[in-house]
Structure 1
């Protein structure tokens, strides 16, 4: 009997540890004091559970993973849970008779939809996506049936659309908060480029067409990729404002940059301490000594913030003949392919070269002290 009690206590301890560990990290824990008020604020997907339930224990890490993806301030859905052993009245009101029970609550209505599928992450996200898509269709009304300049890609048309010319594609998930914020801007971008035959603006729902997104190594949402004649030719990592997106498109297709970005020539003359590199002069410029190179995009917010520090770095080493500070704009038609060959996947990327060969990538803080320290350490190594 005593052994049974010990085992029971150990089991209870494990159960409590699992649920206590999960609680309060990403999944919202509701009770009879806040359940009704909270589900009235936005869409909710709620797990009604009992801590001793084996199926609930197996679902717990998946539910937490789902919450980690979706529980952002900008998201229109919240992942939550209710412990039916401590808040029996809430569960009784929801007709909960078994555990776990998963219900989707639509904001603004008293309706709820019970989930009855396989309790794995892909199936759960598909279910959420379906509920949100139905909501979007209802709210869109007649507008959804009208022609849109924004092309929706799927497994049947993806290859055909990207085969010729330039295509700028948003890979997204309907439940992603950042995707929801970008959606109206992306539509405006498509409208702005509608009459330009050199570019197609498109989007892919990665919850519906996972194979497409997996093929193109999409690991987060939204991911914005540029395709040229069927080949991936760039990843946009800059600010997601309409102005910055339009500027990026214009640079990629070799068009005129809008007026807001025209003061750039002045910036070039000011960069007297930083060597402007291109695909044509790159090998010659980095051939001797140490060359610290910034691969950048003019529309990239992080690059803009780095610019004055990079200039300061060039000034700091201007008298050191063995060191050169350079930069290369990866968005120009001359440099795009070269940057791809250098395996540049984001901006800014900072590579250090010695006598024409890459010897390192800088991933530290982008302040003048850390950047200059990185160069100096390699310089001392060269001199020893």
Structure 2
């Protein structure tokens, strides 16, 4: 969900524009430790020469004007020094992704904001997102864990027992042979989830706790501190094993709350592309127990394809607002499909309505809803107000070049940009091929497949040819105007620049001729 539902609902005043925010236009100071730079500087000329040859290298994609990048720089440098002095093979590097010559790298690795950090492992074509701490000690600790084996050997029953007591989820692989194809598949999946869960393996199934009973090798048992306590799988196709972990490593029904444990699960759920259902109702209602029982039963039957989240309506008004709902609409169930960004809602439901609604969604028969503000009666200002229900007419079918700022009313960076953006609208108002618009992304559904909005403000140009161009330059008037002029495309049916100039010249000559004729008439 974008903007991230958790941030929007649990920290509505926190800036979501950390990555694409309006940063001071200052250069990132060169971070040196003891007069030496430990972070490797990369660019388009040496990236493909250095990165593939390192066993494990982290690359920071930064912009010189970004304040968050400047804050990270000294910590990143300290971490690089600490890793080198400890004898670690882990390397830290950086690339100026705002430099024109490096734009290709930023596009290739899908850099949407700054700073973006990616982990590259030798032999892997796909880098992993860095989601660890931003302080030197935290970076070092996180990367040492990341660079080690994704799964470790369980030496004893006590070892597994202690892990299961201290970790919310422990994934145990039981094998006849650690050289087997099954073990390789297990290791691959362990690598995918190494930041999230603990993976261990053994060739002795007797080391497993009694929970779940005997397990014949090769198989995997996921031990968890919730629900039934364990889940087993004996299939070693990587995608199936991955889906198994995603399904069983979170509770069957997850509480939408501020509790740190719940938030950990919620973060994983909302980062996933898997559909999720959310049920909001009053926990004090007479039929509250019926709601939970029915929802849990539906979750058991559908947990392979949908995540299920539950929340107290009285304390989740921000979540309801995100979906265009109020407390008066509850009990309500929402299903969100991140792949299509589709939202499906049923208001004022009863427990018996839950199963039919989920079945209707899975059959493709549920009605999709779009959250939208009302279309403005007067939209004559230099910056047009864009709402979800007007996207087709104002953007996709307009045939024009539309500059769009996606903002949040509470965002400080957006407030700072507002007068500048108005000046941009006034500057470009004379260009009939251009529309300057803004959309409140907290009050309108944003088509994420077209415009990826992960922070505020986010600015895109949707050209007359249907191309989407992201803006990541400085948020000044000159930069924005130049961006539009550089990237706009000809409007179909409109005269070319040369034709327009010829028409203007002919019109001017015609006016001169008329003026001359008037003079003769006066004589």
TM-score normalised to structure 1 length:
0.40
TM-score normalised to structure 2 length:
0.31
Larger Rg: 2
Greater RCO, CA 8 A, separation 6+: 2
